[in-house]
Amino acid sequence: MTCELQTQPGAAGAARQGSVWDYVSPSRLSLWAKCPLAWRLRYLDGVESPTTPSLFVGKLCHAGLEVFYRHRQRGVTLAAEDVRERLDTIWNEAIDQEGQPFANTEEAAKAKGLTQNLVRAYLDQLPADEPGPLAVEAVFEAPLVDPATGEDLGIPLLGIVDVVFDAAEGPVVVDFKTAASAAEPAEVVHEIQLGSYAYLLRRSLGRTESEVQIRSLVKTRQPRVLVHRYAARTEAHFARLFALLREYVDALDARRFNYRPGWTCASCDFRETHCRQWSG
Ligand code: SF4
């Protein structure tokens, strides 16, 4: 079995930025499924989108939780105040590296407070007996071989999994998200990500997940944490995932990237520029 699992600190940050023919990732596949034109603009043409304040907050929440769980992996439990201090440093470094995504200092201070409160809310609700993680920000890579037919799609799948916990009944895969509302997400919305992580885990560790979780940090006035649990992926899930992957690979080969107008256009960075200029 050819597979790769990097679990060292910084491994995720150093994940290779390969061309679209080097690997498929859940985010590439998801964007292509939403709109092939937006996918082409981002991944083939290299049109960059500015980091929005919301994305920045989400990224920094991930960074705070990564610090916490990397220590847990080594048997150290950081106090919430320690995580907050480290998050302060990471926040400043991110602003230095990426630039200021906020309109003014007041907005920046508000976003920083929100990030700290979200991470704090997460840490406060953790059960005292949560086990140390098996992997943190782990880069998994495996060839895409259809489990039902054995067909090799000729391109690997690469994904970064936030945290994996071990459990007697099978590993638990956890993905962190920040959300604007506490509404229960429809499972199908996350199906590409859930199926991809389960596939990578099985190929890399040779074990079947017991469940996949989305732990949602909700940006309400009083931050909340919701854990959405999804059962181990079934043959039907993988059949659907591979049907989509096959279509994706075919589209790459045919270089066919049509626009797909719909509800996602409302938040698309290309809507008023590149998309308007696209003529089919
Ligand atoms: S505005 Fe809509 S159709 Fe146009 S590129 Fe963006 S998502 Fe696609």
Residue 98 pLDDT level (bands cut at 50, 70, 90):
confident
- Under 8 Å between Cβ of 218 and 224: yes
35 Cα: distance to centroid of ligand 1 (angstroms): 6
Per-residue HEC secondary structure of 214-241 comes to EEEEECCCCCEEEEEEEECCCHHHHHHH
Structure tokens belonging to residue 153: 């799609």
Mean pLDDT of 6-20: 52
Residue 158 has pLDDT above 50, yes or no: yes
Instruction: Please state, for a pLDDT cut of 90, what percent of the chain lies above it.
Output: 87
Decide: helix, strand or coil at residue 169. coil
Residue 270 has pLDDT above 50, yes or no: yes
Question: Among residues 61, 27, 18, which one has the least CA distance to residue 159?
Answer: 27
How far apart are alpha carbons 194 and 26 in whole angstroms? 9
252 Cα: distance to centroid of ligand 1 (angstroms): 18
| Domain 1-8+20-47+131-265 architecture | Alpha-Beta Complex (3.90)
Is residue 260 in contact with ligand 1, taking CB distance under 6 Å? yes
Mean pLDDT of 150-173: 96
Residue 261 pLDDT level (bands cut at 50, 70, 90):
very high
**Complex ipTM value:** 0.99
Ligand 1 pocket mutation pick from 263, 270, 274, 278 by most atoms within 8 angstroms of CB: 270
Looking at residue 17, its pLDDT comes to 65
Looking at residue 12, its pLDDT comes to 43
H/E stretch holding 163 reads strand 152-165
Report the nearest-CA residue for atom 1 of ligand 1.
271
Other beta carbons less than 10 A from residue 211's beta carbon = 19
Report the nearest-CA residue for atom 4 of ligand 1.
275
Residue 9 has pLDDT above 90, yes or no: no
Instruction: Please state, for a pLDDT cut of 70, what percent of the chain lies above it.
Output: 94
Q: Which residue has the tokens 């039902």?
A: 148
27 Cα: distance to centroid of ligand 1 (angstroms): 16
144 Cα: distance to centroid of ligand 1 (angstroms): 28
Which tens digit of pLDDT belongs to each residue from 33-57?
A: 999 999 999 999 999 888 899 999 9
- Domain range list for the chain: 1-8+20-47+131-265, 50-128
Q: 240 versus 11: which is more confidently predicted?
A: 240
Atom of ligand 1 nearest to the CA of 34: 7
Decide: helix, strand or coil at residue 273. coil
Residue 18 pLDDT level (bands cut at 50, 70, 90):
confident
State the maximum Cα–Cα separation within the chain, in Å, rounded to a whole number. Answer: 57
Mean pLDDT of 94-98: 92
